[in-house]
Structure 1
Amino acid sequence: MSQIVKVNYYDAFHCIGSKCPFTCCQEWAISVDEDTLEKWKGVTLETIGIKDEKRATSTLCDCVEKEESEYVIALKKDKTCPFLNKDKLCSVVLGVGEDYLSKTCTTYPRHVHKVGDQEEYSLDFGCPAVIDLIYLEEKGVYFISEGAKAHQPSVLEEVRKMILECIQDETYTLTESILMAYCCLLELIEEEGLSIEVVEAYESKEYLEALVTEMRTMKVEAIDSFWERNEQFLDRIQLYQKDETYTKDIEAYSVLAERLEEYYSDTWLLEKNEAFEMQYQGFEKLLRNYLAAEIWANVLRDHMTLDHMVMVYQWVILEYCAIKQLTFLKWVSEEQRMVDYNMVRDAIMMIARMIAYDQDEIEKCLAYSFEEPILDWGTLALIVGSGKI
């Protein structure tokens, strides 16, 4: 039996149903497995309380369409699930019970990934209720093992541990933590013989102190970072626009991002960005928790190489920067309003719903924005910027 490791708030999750501000029954392609399709053949729409005279004898299967190699629920014109009722509850559950839900609907936002002899349980940040959980984690994100089986960590697991220790070390600013971890990763790629002992050398306090001291002498212009972050945000939007996997809210903010230079001067943007950064720092704990959970869940999977880990780490950090830029755009568009939790939570949720962690997709997206799939340290540092967060 595999060892099970869960993110510490995993078992605390429960769906908030009709109270959810952003239902997962909207805009996403919800896959339907073969077993569920078989069950749906004998269930009419009327059985689950959907009255449609034009489709009086239609079954649930008539609300499904083929998309490439899988079946998905065909969304309505407003991009909501046809089974979502006016109270934002599932008609399938109300009519015939949870046993008739597809596996996707039953498990989301839960994910299980295999890493060596471990099964790792995490939660997806596309669900706002998950973000609420990490917002409350004052002690930070950690991981709970279930089962008595002894586990010998692999070299790449040690690399992931090194990254997480950097991200969660509050003696450094979050920006420093992000860039220190990336510097270590780039140097590890150059190591000829990678071992746990080699990785541990990069975890030493002496090494990290020397590294951060050097980093503090290298500043980037705030306005250059701002425009680079804005460009990367727009790249993410453009890549996913064709799949219509972003909300109308995202579309509105992408238009604002495209026209920032037309609306505002660099001087005005710098002043606004400085004021924004001061308020945004109040969410440092939330963002450290988010990064730790996202890194743990995604940078290591079976059959990954160190190069793959570095690319996924880059992707997580670009996601983090997109969240920051979206929050800034929301804040600017709502004048005289403080940066509040709902604003940050919504930005995390929206970006998480756009971002995929498929290896081929990541390489394609990095190739779209950059010449090489693994960025040099200076390029990532420019995007992240010199602020504290």
Structure 2
Amino acid sequence: MKTLQPIYMEKFACIGPQCEDTCCANWTISIDKKSYKKYRKINDLDFKEKFKSGVSKNKTLSNSQDSFFARMNLNDQGQCSFLTEEKLCGIQQQYGENHLCSTCAIYPRMVNKLNDSIEKSGLVSCPEIARLALLNKEGIDFKVVELDKKTTFLNGELSTNLYKEDSIERNYWDIRYFIIQVLQNRSIKLWERLLYIGLFVQKLQETKNESVQVHSVVSTFKNNLVAGNVSDLFKNVPVNLEMQFKVLKLITESRSIEGIHHPRFKEYYSKFLNGIKYSNENSDEENFKNYNISLEHFRKEEENYEYIFENYLVNYVFQTMFPLNTEGDYLKEYSYLILHYSLIKLHLIGIKSSLEDSFSDQDIVSFIQSFARNIGHNKAYLNKVYNFLKENKLNNLGSYSLLVKN
């Protein structure tokens, strides 16, 4: 089957025991109904014992939710019962890949279907994917390949011909292609690229309620990009560090981030707090002053790291089918894109101050991997930050411009 994927996927292979992380640690692992029944039929006594204590049915779910039929019970270390001492999957090791449940079989890949084509990418919550995807200074390129293996599980699916001619869904290929084109245009500062995408998404949102043609919107924004007029649109955008500090306070005062137990993320979180010298015993003025010092330290070398942020954003846009969602609220998806970028950057400002001269590209990638694993997949925490912005009437393009510009 024809599959569109980033070129880095051709290089990916699980490094198993050499990996610094464990795929199944501290996560909810759903088991589909078909796999559950397959496990029930295995007669091996050791397997039966692990299955009995290590798997629970989701009794509250309806019959239509077969993908979440059961779940793995994690042990005191937050690990799956079937994990071997070598940090390998015991089910795959003993019974083969065809015995893996959909969740385990697909990770760390994201698989979507756009019309008749499969789209496959990697999740940067996997350390090896993070290195391959983010450390390419030339940027992420894509390639169509023929894959023999049939895909049975999809994260997302879109059939554009089911939508009206001038709808966003019908024109999704052109829309996403343009968004990635903007993100990879290095003649423009990254914060300007993000705001230009925000204007674009905002205009697309308006086409749902007004008689504005999607084709016309895409064409206008493409012409502006080619003409080199993008930076002029944002030359009067003010810098508002107080706005950034408000979000920073929300992060630092969330002492118990929902569902996060990952040791490396906790280590980075401590470095973040140490780097910005944040303390509840300090006045807001003192904490703000310390944040500014760390920010100035970060800004001196920020351009050297932009390619990593760019790669993260391109990967995110491709695999989430950005900015689509079931609600038709495209600006909400843009909000989440900005939150991912802003939260990563805010943490790294403190981490760089803490590590000082030893701070490197590898540290950025290592932090982003732990962020993606613990916050990027943590809807509860992201919703908490989003709702904070919404309650304070900060979930708009004007406020996001203040959040991303230093």
TM-score interval, smaller chain: 0.7 to 0.9
**1: CA distance between counterparts of 2:126 and 2:120?**
15
Counterpart position of 1:215: 234
Question: Aligned ranges for residues 30-45 of structure 1 at < 5 Å?
Answer: 30-41=29-40, 42-44=42-44
Give the CA deviation at 1:163. Answer: 1.6
Q: 2:298 aligns with which of 276, 279, 282?
A: 276
Question: Aligned ranges for residues 320-339 of structure 1 at < 5 Å?
Answer: 320-334=341-355, 336-339=356-359
8 Å Cα contact 1:299/1:313 also seen in 2 = no
**2: CA distance between counterparts of 1:380 and 1:303?**
20
Percent identity reads 22
Give the CA deviation at 1:246. Answer: 4.8
8 Å Cα contact 1:7/1:142 also seen in 2 = yes
TM-score (normalised: structure 2): 0.77
Counterpart position of 2:218: 199
Change (3 A) 1:96 1:188: closer
Residue type of the partner of 1:190? E
Deviations 1:249-292 (A, max 9, x none): 44562793894464554333212211123234322212211111
Change (3 A) 1:159 1:282: same
SS of 2:191's equivalent?
Answer: helix
Deviations 1:306-334 (A, max 9, x none): x5333212212211111112223333444
| Root mean square deviation, CA, Å | 3.4
**1: CA distance between counterparts of 2:294 and 2:386?**
29
Counterpart position of 2:18: 19
Counterpart check, 1:183 vs 2:199 = yes
Counterpart check, 1:350 vs 2:365 = no
Counterpart check, 1:291 vs 2:313 = yes
TM-score (normalised: structure 1): 0.80
Counterpart position of 1:247: 262
8 Å Cα contact 2:204/2:214 also seen in 1 = no
**2: CA distance between counterparts of 1:105 and 1:183?**
38
Give the CA deviation at 1:356. Answer: 4.2
Counterpart position of 1:140: 139
Q: 1:266 aligns with which of 284, 288, 294?
A: 288
Structure 1, unaligned stretches of length 5 or more? 48-56
Structure 2, unaligned stretches of length 5 or more? 62-67, 147-159, 162-168
Residue type of the partner of 1:175? W
**1: CA distance between counterparts of 2:381 and 2:115?**
23
Counterpart position of 1:224: 242
Counterpart check, 1:64 vs 2:64 = no
**2: CA distance between counterparts of 1:315 and 1:43?**
46
Change (3 A) 1:204 1:373: farther
SS of 1:119's equivalent?
Answer: strand
Change (3 A) 1:309 1:234: farther
Change (3 A) 1:154 1:361: farther
**2: CA distance between counterparts of 1:39 and 1:373?**
50
Question: Aligned ranges for residues 297-308 of structure 1 at < 5 Å?
Answer: 297-300=319-322, 307-308=328-329
Change (3 A) 1:258 1:96: farther
**1: CA distance between counterparts of 2:378 and 2:332?**
10
Counterpart position of 1:340: 360
